[in-house]
Amino acid sequence: MFDPDRIDVRAKLNTTEAWRLRNVSREEHTFHIHVNHFQVISVNGRPYQARGGQDTVQLPHGGEVVIRMEFLDFTGKYPFHCHILSHEDRGMMADIEVVR
């Protein structure tokens, strides 16, 4: 469950990270991150032809998506979560903090 006082991920300013987002459920989820956009690298192991930065991506059920994010402009805490409101309301949400 989401805890607004917990930091789930820390990233350093002026770095780039690749995240592997796995969906182990039997339903799709829409991953969304505030403040920062990302580049989708692959979906279920297949290269993805990104047309630019995104702040949401569909996670296929039983699948995975690899994204790449650059932390260049903002320090502080912000959330990422499932963009399906009923999932978010049930706690499918976490916080990232970008530090110097």
Residue 91 is predicted with a pLDDT of: 86
Asked if the structure places residue 1 within a domain, the reply is no
DSSP string, 55-90: SEEEE-TT-EEEEEEEE-S--EEEEEEESSHHHHHT
Asked if the structure places residue 4 within a domain, the reply is no
CB 31 within 8 A of CB 65: yes
Asked if the structure places residue 34 within a domain, the reply is yes
CATH number at residue 75: 2.60.40.420
Structure tokens at 97: 């903090």
For the chain, the domain total comes to 1
10-residue mean pLDDT profile of the chain (100 residues): values are 94 98 94 96 96 95 97 96 90 95
Give the domain extent around 64: 9-99
Residue 90 is predicted with a pLDDT of: 87
